[in-house]
Amino acid sequence: MTKACRLCKVLTNESTCPVCKGSELSEDYLGFVIILDPKKSQLANKMSIKEAGQYALKIR
Ligand SMILES: [Zn+2]
């Protein structure tokens, strides 16, 4: 089951976040975006995303 990190919103199948190493993961999220190149993405900039990957749009 894919989970979303509450801190940086990245989606992961691991039990800890691969980006911020946090363990606050939630299965309760809405929608996701795939960021391929954070430096060229306005959305990534807006969401403060610095690593490529899949990110939840909203975590409840
Ligand atoms: Zn994280």
Residue by residue, pLDDT tens for the chain (60 residues) are: 899 999 999 999 999 999 999 999 999 999 999 999 999 999 999 999 999 999 999 999
Contact, 10 vs 19, CB < 8 A? yes
Domain that holds residue 7: 3-59
Instruction: Check which CATH number belongs to the domain holding 48 and give it.
Output: 2.20.28.90
**Ligand 1 midpoint to CA 19 (Å):** 5
Q: Structural domain tally of the chain? A: 1
**Ligand 1 midpoint to CA 24 (Å):** 8
Which residues have CB atoms below 5 A from the ion given as ligand 1?
Answer: 5, 7-8, 17, 19-20, 22
Whole-model pTM: value is 0.88
Contact residues for 35 (Cβ-Cβ < 8 A; gap 6+): 41, 43, 44, 49, 51, 52, 53, 54, 55
Distance separating alpha carbons of residues 37 and 41, to the nearest angstrom: 6
